[in-house]
Structure formats: C-alpha cells, structure tokens
Structure 1
C-alpha cells in the first residue's frame, strides 16, 4: 500500500473538493472521473458515459433496484443510471459543494447525501447493488470501506469498484516521484495494488467475480485534462487565482505526474466486480 508522507483525513478530502470545485467542474466536468475509450473514437463526454455504462453492465442492474453510489461526486453517475436503468440511487459525498450541486439538479429516484461512507447510516442488506468510481482511494480505512459495502448489500448483491491502483512491486523511484506525490497532492490516504484490493474484498466476505485492467483505455483522460486546465488558466481569472493561491493548489502538479505514471506503468486503472453470497450461500450467477 502506498501511503503519503503527510497523513490525509476525510476533512482534508472534503476541503480539497470544496476549494477546487470550480476547477474540477471546468476541467473534469460533472462526472469527475476518467473516460473509457472503447472504440477509441469517442468524444470525452461519450467516454465518460461509457465508463458509467460499463459499471452498470457489470452490475447487471434491474429496474427498480435500490443502489448505492459510494463517493457520488456531483451525482451525475447516479442521475445517468436512474434515468437509463430505472434504478433508485442513494449517493454519498464528503464535499458540501458537490452535495449542493446535486441538490440543485434533482431527478426522481436520486438522493445525494453529505455524509461519510464509513458512517453511512444505511440499514443492513438494504441495497441490491453498489458502485464506487474512483472514491475508494479517498477512504481513510479501506478494509472498513469494503466491510460497509458488504453489510449494506443484500444477499446476492453486486459491487463494482473502479480504482486508481499502484503497480505491483513498483520500483523505488516510481514510488518516490510518482505514486507517493500523487497520493499527497490528491488527498489520497493510500493507494493499493490489485492484490491488496482483492485481499480486502475477500476478507470482507465478497467473492471476486471479475477484474479488468483498462489503463490504456482511460489514460488519455489526463492529457485532455491538462489541455483544458491550460486553456482555463489562460482565459479564466478564477482558475488562475485558485491555481496560484488555493490551499490545495498543489494538485495541479499531479496532472503531469499522472500522465507519466500511466505511461510508465507505475499506476494502473482497474475495474473489480464483486458479489455477496446469496441466502443459499452461493455467489450470484
């Protein structure tokens, strides 16, 4: 597990997203996660929606199901799936700015809550499916992140995680110059490997139903973000002010690191498909 040399807390994560809210919406848009290029010809907006659809397909969502979006950001993924898959979604975010944005863009069957997933307050076995798109990295207690998902899911429930992962056995220079700074600058309490995630999932009671490394199909996200940020710095005074004066301005440095981390293989992007055993004790098909 890669751990930054400055401890990161849930409060620090919330402050990061609240303060940099204008930059995130300008550079990443409403989804605040990678795009997935399936054919290679998608626009950035289409690639972002393709990642959401990929998650939904792996979850095998059924109309009417109760779902949980762990680390929902602005609620865009929840809104997309409530509309396209006719499911009910409860989303959790640490960021007040993100929660306010979600409240200002309400849709039926989507409830965005300003609350820490590690203290989510949901009843046992109250959801059929859950997803976490690039939010597990921000969890200060990753084993508990998995344990809470297992508790909240009903028997036979499905869980999909899209995660930034560290290369297994990454060399010292990759850790020192890429992975540790990415964690520190991005307010990630830790970054795990595929093997560490699978071990934590198994310990929580999940069955590993699938894993896919899609690093090559998401990596161009950061080149697009870099170009958008450069343009914003040139034309938008608010972006320039935040980039130069914000407490969390150091995150800007992570964009070139992320580009290099993908190109060197130091960082991977993995999609895990997990399942909770049914009442018969068998994992769902």
Structure 2
C-alpha cells in the first residue's frame, strides 16, 4: 500500500509543478487523436499553448474511448483518475449524464471543482477524493459506467482496481478505458532498455501489454472483446513529445544553469518518445462489461 501511495504522490507532485497543465493542456492530461487534413501538423515545432488543434485531438480521444459505452442521459458515470475534471465535464455536457470524478491528489480536486463551477455544471458533476486502486467510494452496483483514461498505468494494484470497478458497476454496466501499454512483442531486453526507464521517470510501477490487460480484465470477472490500438492516429503524440523535448534541450543549452524542471521534462518526454517510435510503447483501449445477472431456472413442479 505504501509503495502505491508514494507512486501516486510522486506523479501528482510532478503534475502540480504545472508543466503538463501549462505546457500540454489546461483541462486534459492525456494524449490525443489527430486527423490528417484537419489538424495542424506543425504546431509542435513551437508548441504554442494552448493550441486549438491539440485541444480538439484530446476531446476526440475521449469521444472515441467512451462512444462504444453508449452513455445515456441521466446515467451515473464515474471518471476514475479524474485529474482536473476535464473529462468529467465533457462527458456531462456531451451526454447529459451525472458524473463523479475520483482522484487522490489534494490539489487537483480543488481546481476541478472551481472549473466545474465556472462551467455551470455543479448540478451534474461532483468530485470525491479516493485512491482508485484501493477503494472506489460507491455502493455495490450503484454505477452505470466507469471511465478511465490513461490512469490505471499509475496503479500498483490494478487487479484490485478492476475488482472495485466490477463491484460498483450494475449488472450490464460498462468500463470504457485507455491506458499506456508496452507492445506484446517487447522482449525482456527491450523492456529493460525502454520500458523500465519510462516507468522510473514517470513513477509508474510497470506497464501491462494487451495480453496481460486482457487477462486482468477476465480475472476480475469483466467481459470484453479485447484490447485494441487506435490505428496509428495517436502517433502524432510521439512527434509532439520529441519536438517538445528538443525545445527544452535547446533552452537548457542556451541557459547557464538549466532549471531542474527542464531536465525532468526532457527526461520524461524522451523516455516515452524513444519507446513509442521504436515500437515498444502504445496506447490501448477497451470496452468491458459486468455480466448480466443470469436468471435462476424455475424449480420443476413436483
């Protein structure tokens, strides 16, 4: 338990240093889906912030992950690992559902609540503080949909998280999610060279593969057709990470004393970029369901 709390604490502290919220996007701390011909392919050279094409790509990612769940108005949706609440607010506005964001940080829920109030969504979106991989603060079978966007990679106890998801979902309830993965073809040597450094810099316990994620879902008692990728539409994120890393490197080289956070940014960006472009890192997505309760056969007449 203590190692998990330290991992999440380290990750949250890095986010609260504001380089993701102020250098990526103010509302969404995840990767995007880019459409050729619709999104600018050059903005990463200067990494203008905030950038409209990146913002659209981030929302497109949420839409693609959650659309298969067929969320309906009035349903109760839990955004597990909610960050600053951008996904929760988007879901409420898009589907007319009631959303509860759950996160562990002492800082981000305050930001999330203020932005939700500013958006006029207080009656539809609320937030609770909890460690998602230990306990989700909802009654058994009380939730229609759980959304988890690039968050479970931070959890040291993923089987417990998935068990909690199954517990709180009603029969037939859905889990719509995406996560950081290592590719199934990654060898032990490649894992040591590319995945271990990535996990160390980002304070992640480890990465699953598609095969291991599918096993975890089934072990938790959740039904799914499988874990898939995004058909290459997410690869532009790797280009952005590489460009941003080069910008930070040039700034550091032109500075007599490079700030520590610049060095940390370069390390964090370069680890994901290197693993991604060499084919050892990918984004995966899946839709899972809690099985419907099977009716008990009637007792035969005696």
Question: Is the TM value for this pair above 0.5?
Answer: yes
Shift in Å, 1:216 = 2.1
Distance 2:77 2:84 in 1: 16
Q: Which residue of 1 aligns with 2:42?
A: none
Cα distance change on mapping 1:40 and 1:68 into 2, 3 Å: farther
Cα distance change on mapping 1:242 and 1:134 into 2, 3 Å: same
Distance 2:60 2:103 in 1: 22
1:11 and 2:6 correspond: yes
1:56 and 2:59 correspond: no
1:31 and 2:35 correspond: no
Which sits farther off after the overlay, 32-41 or 197-206? 32-41
Distance 2:231 2:107 in 1: 29
Q: Which residue of 2 aligns with 1:4?
A: none
Shift in Å, 1:268 = 1.7
Q: Note the alpha carbon deviations across 1:136-176, whole angstroms, 9 max, x for none.
A: 10111111111000001000001112011112141244212
1:165 and 2:181 correspond: yes
Equivalent residues of 2:241, 2:270 under 8 A apart? no
Q: Which residue of 2 aligns with 1:243?
A: 261
Equivalent residues of 2:214, 2:227 under 8 A apart? no
Tell me which structure has the larger Cα radius of gyration.
2
Distance 1:23 1:214 in 2: 26
1:181 and 2:197 correspond: yes
Distance 1:40 1:8 in 2: 45
Tell me, what secondary structure is at the counterpart of 2:175? strand
Cα distance change on mapping 1:256 and 1:8 into 2, 3 Å: farther
Map residues 245-260 of structure 1 onto 2, 5 A cutoff.
Answer: 250=264, 252-260=266-274
2:91 to 58, 61, 81: 81
Tell me, what secondary structure is at the counterpart of 2:292? coil
Asked which structure has the greater RCO (Cα within 8 Å, sep 6+), the reply is: 1
1:98 to 108, 112, 116: 108
Map residues 113-128 of structure 1 onto 2, 5 A cutoff.
Answer: 113-117=128-132, 118-128=134-144
Q: Which residue of 1 aligns with 2:240?
A: 224
1:133 and 2:149 correspond: yes
Paired positions, count: 268
Distance 2:102 2:170 in 1: 18
Q: Which residue of 2 aligns with 1:65?
A: 75
2:288 to 239, 260, 274: 274
Tell me, what secondary structure is at the counterpart of 1:168? coil
| TM-score, length of structure 2 as denominator length | 0.81
1:156 to 150, 169, 172: 172
Equivalent residues of 1:219, 1:259 under 8 A apart? no
Q: Which residue of 2 aligns with 1:209?
A: 225
Root-mean-square deviation (Å):
2.4
Cα distance change on mapping 1:16 and 1:63 into 2, 3 Å: same
Q: Which residue of 1 aligns with 2:125?
A: 110
Equivalent residues of 1:33, 1:133 under 8 A apart? yes
Shift in Å, 1:269 = 1.1
Cα distance change on mapping 1:38 and 1:10 into 2, 3 Å: farther
In structure 1, runs of 5+ residues without a counterpart are 1-6
